[in-house]
């Protein structure tokens, strides 16, 4: 049933024998050391344990399952030293990292190894920390995935190429576990694509038919090991339908480009200046140092800040054509493409209905006795309400974005702290830098993953 194209793809993405042997050896050593030290049950989890990793992946997850009778503090006090000891005995350099709990990240023989203490709970419905679920996921998939391993590899490669793989806050896409469950529930890669082509918001898949609540996300995959959890809670409406469109596009005209897209050109600074000139828009970038937190904390705040500054611009009479944001290592950028960088001095301001006498009198008095320099005309009456024309505070969007008004809007906490130390506003070509070029290129390409694949396909012809 597999097409020749898909077989060719699989040959490229299946891990080779040497790769398998190498990972299996490292995994074996880690387990052996952990067991020899004792104190916790050791278990390899993740895609290596499930045999669903792709050639070139370098991630290995060792979980240390502790007695659930321990306190969370006990877990840290016993778990971290054990993890460090294991890394030490492997002779591997390591760091401490933080998710809900601290864990150890070590580099072993070129592999990126996470050593994660967790609780050995009875069932996934009784977890005490998000990571406690992972062993249950691994067992569930291990028991069933055998006949569908190749399908999972194809789906992972397909979603990665399409830019919809990853449940992090920036991507808002499909996790590896979700890919596995989708393949299982549709009996393979082709079955899933055919099913996805007809998805609607609110699509529900419940493999164990045990859902205990309603979910509001556009795509719902009830976790087979936890009836109260939606595995695809991270998938945004747009990522979901980008995947739907990719599925339709692939079914209509399969091509290797859905798995291995050719490189694309980045916009140069001169190219950016030319694009903006042609479109007749104005580009403003608000740039500030990246807050010292992980992406999953910073990115949602960045999105909220983007929406808040967009609303600030619009309240001040600037039409926002498009907006975007990116967190880079050193700096974050909020990008606004405006229909125009200027607004007229005159601004209409709507007051209360004239029949609401108390408010109407207050409004009228304010503008009669207020500083004449602010009032341009009025009060007059339109549709029964008082109206005035007043002077706009900012007739240039750049001035507004440079003003302290920016700090008055609803930014996330860490973004606000960073902005309070200062920010820069760049215009048009000056928004471009080597670091921001990929982001700015995507911002101006403004195309769905399928549109992109089709464009690159044409370009290659």
* Binding-site ranges for its own copies (CB under 8 A): 197-201, 218, 237-238, 240-242, 244-245, 248, 278-281, 317, 319, 321-322, 339-340, 342-346, 348, 354-355, 357, 361, 364, 368, 376-384, 389, 395, 444-448, 451, 454
CB closer to its own copies, 315 vs 413: 315
CB closer to its own copies, 209 vs 278: 278
CB closer to its own copies, 98 vs 355: 355
In order, the DSSP letters of 199-261 are: --TTEEE-TTS---S---SSEEEEETTEEEEETTTT--HHHHHHHHHHHHHHHHS--GGGTSP
Q: Angle 449-460/237-252 helices, nearest 10 degrees?
A: 40
- 149, 190, 208, 225, 239 from 185: Cα distances, Å: 13, 12, 10, 14, 20
Give me the least distance between CB of 138 and its own copies, in Å please.
33
DSSP state of 392: -
CB closer to its own copies, 291 vs 449: 449
CB closer to its own copies, 345 vs 407: 345
Give me the least distance between CB of 257 and its own copies, in Å please.
15
Take residue 357 and report the two structure tokens written for it.
Answer: 């006498």
CB closer to its own copies, 19 vs 245: 245
CA-to-CA distance for 112 and 18, rounded, in angstroms?
17
Give me the least distance between CB of 439 and its own copies, in Å please.
15
Give me the least distance between CB of 37 and its own copies, in Å please.
51
CA 297 from chain centre, in angstroms, equals 11
CB closer to its own copies, 147 vs 198: 198
- 142, 181, 283, 345, 389 from 336: Cα distances, Å: 47, 38, 6, 21, 27
**Through-space distance between the first and last CA atoms of the chain, rounded to whole angstroms:** 29
Take residue 21 and report the two structure tokens written for it.
Answer: 């042997």
Dihedral class, residue 383 (left if φ above 0, else alpha if ψ from -120 to 50, else beta)? left
Give me the least distance between CB of 297 and its own copies, in Å please.
25
DSSP state of 40: S
Give me the least distance between CB of 199 and its own copies, in Å please.
7
Give me the least distance between CB of 349 and its own copies, in Å please.
12
């Amino acid at each position: 049933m597999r097409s020749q194209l898909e077989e060719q793809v699989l040959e490229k993405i299946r891990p080779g024998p040497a790769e398998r042997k190498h990972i299996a050896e490292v995994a074996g050593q880690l387990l052996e050391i952990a067991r020899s030290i004792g104190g916790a049950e050791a278990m390899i989890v993740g895609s290596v344990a499930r045999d669903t990793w792709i050639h070139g992946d370098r991630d290995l997850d060792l979980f240390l399952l502790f007695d659930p009778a321990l306190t969370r503090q006990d877990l840290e006090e016993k778990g971290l030293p054990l993890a460090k000891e294991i890394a030490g005995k492997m002779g591997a350099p390591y760091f401490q990292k933080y998710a809900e709990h601290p864990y150890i990240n070590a580099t072993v023989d070129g592999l990126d190894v996470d050593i994660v203490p967790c609780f050995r709970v009875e069932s996934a419905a009784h977890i005490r920390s998000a990571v406690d679920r992972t062993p249950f996921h691994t067992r569930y998939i291990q028991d069933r995935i055998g006949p569908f391993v190749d399908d999972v590899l194809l789906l992972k490669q397909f979603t990665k190429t399409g830019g919809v793989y990853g449940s992090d806050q920036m991507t808002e896409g499909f996790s590896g576990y979700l890919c596995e469950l989708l393949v299982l529930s549709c009996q393979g890669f082709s079955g899933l694509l055919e099913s996805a082509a007809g998805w609607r918001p609110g699509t529900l898949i419940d493999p164990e038919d045990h859902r205990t609540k309603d979910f509001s996300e556009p795509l719902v995959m009830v976790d087979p090991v936890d009836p109260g959890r939606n595995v695809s809670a991270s998938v945004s409406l747009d990522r979901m339908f980008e995947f739907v469109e990719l599925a339709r596009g692939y079914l209509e005209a399969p091509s290797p480009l859905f798995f291995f897209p050719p490189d694309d050109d980045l916009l140069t600074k001169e190219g950016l200046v030319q694009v903006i000139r042609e479109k007749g828009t104005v580009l403003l970038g608000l740039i500030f140092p990246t807050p010292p937190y992980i992406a999953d904390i910073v990115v949602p705040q960045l999105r909220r800040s983007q929406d808040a500054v967009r609303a600030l611009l619009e309240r001040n009479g600037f039409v926002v054509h498009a907006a975007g944001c990116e967190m880079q290592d050193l700096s974050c950028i909020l990008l606004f493409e405006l229909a125009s960088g200027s607004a007229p001095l005159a601004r209409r301001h709507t007051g209360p209905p004239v029949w609401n006498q108390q408010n109407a009198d207050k409004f009228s008095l304010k503008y009669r006795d207020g500083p004449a320099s602010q009032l341009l005309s009025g009060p007059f009456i339109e549709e029964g309400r008082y109206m005035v024309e007043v002077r706009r505070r900012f007739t240039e969007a750049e001035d507004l974005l440079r003003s302290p008004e920016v700090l008055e809007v609803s930014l996330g906490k860490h973004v606000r702290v960073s902005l309070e130390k200062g920010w820069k506003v760049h215009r048009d070509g000056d928004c471009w830098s080597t670091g921001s070029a990929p982001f700015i290129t995507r911002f101006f390409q403004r195309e769905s993953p399928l549109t992109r694949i089709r464009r690159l396909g044409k370009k290659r012809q």
